[in-house]
Amino acid sequence: MMKYILALDQGTTSSRAIVFDQDGSIVSAAQKEFRQIFPQSGLVEHDAQEIWSNQLGVAQEAITRAGLRATDIAAIGITNQRETVVIWERKSGRPIHNAIVWQDRRTALLCDQLRAQGLEALFVQKTGLLIDAYFSGTKARWLLDHVPGAREQAERGELALGTIDSWLVYNLTGGECHITDASNASRTLLFNIHTGEWDDELLRILEIPRSLLPEVRPSSEVYGETSPGLLGARIPIAGMAGDQQAATFGQACVEKGMAKNTYGTGCFMLLNTGGQAVPSQHKLLTTVAWTIRGRTDYALEGSIFVAGAVMQWLRDGLGIIRDSAEVEALAASVPDNGGVYLVPAFVGLGAPHWDSYARGSIHGLSRGSTRAHIARAALESVAYQTADVLQAMQQDAATPVRELRVDGGASRNDLLMQFQADVLGVPVVRPQVTETTALGAAYLAGLAVGYWESEQQIARQWREERRFEPRMGEDEREALLSQWRRAVQRSTAWERPDDQGATTQ
């Protein structure tokens, strides 16, 4: 009988479930949004119980929509928003507080204090990460320090800590499994990516009791089975990876030197560096890509804060378009940017700049500038930021990138993808299946149960939808990038840390 793989894709704003067949094609899907909780400016939380309820509901719905039963599912793979953290009571399974989301900035002051103590080099060396409120470790410290009685409970071994993958597996298995995978562990500031273990020195610095932590397991392995009654039969849970690592695997970037870029609200580019954890000299992150069959692959990652969000700003902020989909036609109505450059540093600049005090700006305006030029400059800003990250990656890894595989909403914009290829000077390739995050989780689970034989078989299944070849000459490319870098330089350090106290990080 034909079997299928169920992928659970737990994202920042919605929970999804997708059923895949052996060709890696989508059979059915279900999705449900959940509440975003903003206690005050800069704070972002989720109701972990709501996430669990939603994720279970869409899993049941996806199986039903496909006309299947639980016995038709060979395995479940999980992918998740990576740095969001939950602490719950082991006995009751009840969270002690809302989940603190990766976007939350409440621990920025603690991060400042850690850096002032000269600890950043230690964290970078052991974890591959910069000290930043983005990551899970300082969020866990905040929960222990601010939820009444939490630290005492933790010291008594009564609490469990995890990122969203751990929370889902704990609930799916009825509390039998408290685990995470190496890719998610590598985003916590608590995990030594070289030894593959939780690091006692970092745990001591952040005052996190080791008893709280999940067991770190490979990204592809049978961890346990779903509890009876949840889905109609017990199904093996066999794959886990953080969302960007899962997307990299779903894009079949399984060989050293292969890279993918996901165009969402921001952009996340990962370059596979094989079995070597390459230290970055250009403010990129070194992260675990996945651990499979005893081998750990690593990646360099560059995070761009504003990509698709700049299109939303054109719509909601400037009002020059009614729908984000209109930006391609408007930008294409002029032959070039007319000398206009837009730096979308609305919340500072991410990799490779990491400037919290940069702010958005538009340069090169003249009386001849139109809303079409601004739209084109906004579109091009996404490609320029990606070019900055790719250049840093190639310098760090000393590995030429032969092509860039792309996914995410903005990857469907043909004008942007062609311009991306032009400013990179390498082909940009869009796959037929763009749900690469869920597909990566499915592949990891399927490998563990023999549904797919090997990474090589998965790589052969990857199918190209369109390839954008670079058409721009070297002189034109360098002239455009030079002007872009001038614009970025004028946007950096725009605000001062003491401006109304609002920008202190």
State the pTM of this model.
0.88
Q: Does 232 appear as a known binding residue?
A: no
φ, ψ dihedrals at 149, nearest 5°: 80, -5
Rounded to whole angstroms, how far apart are CA atoms 323 and 316?
9
The three-point CA angle 6-10-16 to 5° equals 55
Going by pLDDT thresholds of 50, 70 and 90, the confidence category of residue 500 is very low
Q: Does 286 appear as a known binding residue?
A: no
Higher pLDDT, 5 or 433: 5
Q: Does 504 appear as a known binding residue?
A: no
pLDDT of residue 497: 57
| 152-168 confidence digits (pLDDT tens) | 999 999 999 999 999 99
Average pLDDT, the chain: 92
Rounded to whole angstroms, how far apart are CA atoms 438 and 461?
15
Q: Does 357 appear as a known binding residue?
A: no
Radius of gyration of the chain (CA): 22
Could you check whether 4-244 and 306-427+470-493 share the same CATH topology? Answer: yes
């939780």: which residue's tokens?
Answer: 198
- Centroid of chain to Cα 425: 25
Whether 1 has a pLDDT exceeding 80, the answer reads no
Which CATH class for the 4-244 domain? alpha beta
Q: Does 151 appear as a known binding residue?
A: no
Under DSSP, is residue 99 helix (H, G, I), strand (E, B) or coil? strand
Q: Does 82 appear as a known binding residue?
A: yes
Q: Does 106 appear as a known binding residue?
A: no
Sign (positive/negative) of CA torsion 211, 212, 216, 220?
positive
Q: Does 436 appear as a known binding residue?
A: no
Q: Does 291 appear as a known binding residue?
A: no
Which CATH class for the 306-427+470-493 domain? alpha beta
Tell me if the bond preceding 352 is cis, omega within 30° of 0. Answer: yes
Rounded to whole angstroms, how far apart are CA atoms 366 and 374?
11
In 3D space, the residue among 171, 133, 147, 190 whose CA is nearest the CA of residue 48 turns out to be 171
Q: Does 463 appear as a known binding residue?
A: no
Under DSSP, is residue 14 helix (H, G, I), strand (E, B) or coil? strand
Is 18 in contact with 7 (CB distance < 8 Å)? Answer: yes
**Domain residue ranges in the chain:** 4-244, 306-427+470-493
Q: Which has the minimum average pLDDT: 244-248, 258-262, 492-496?
A: 492-496
Structure tokens at 205: 């610095």
Is 222 in contact with 238 (CB distance < 8 Å)? Answer: yes
| 338-382 confidence digits (pLDDT tens) | 999 999 988 778 889 888 778 899 999 999 999 999 999 999 999
φ, ψ dihedrals at 467, nearest 5°: -115, 130
Q: Does 229 appear as a known binding residue?
A: no
**Amino acid letter at 466?**
R
Q: Does 465 appear as a known binding residue?
A: no
CA dihedral 209, 211, 212, 214 (to 10 degrees): 130
| 27-71 confidence digits (pLDDT tens) | 999 999 888 888 887 788 999 999 999 999 999 999 999 999 999
Q: Does 184 appear as a known binding residue?
A: no
Q: Does 12 appear as a known binding residue?
A: yes
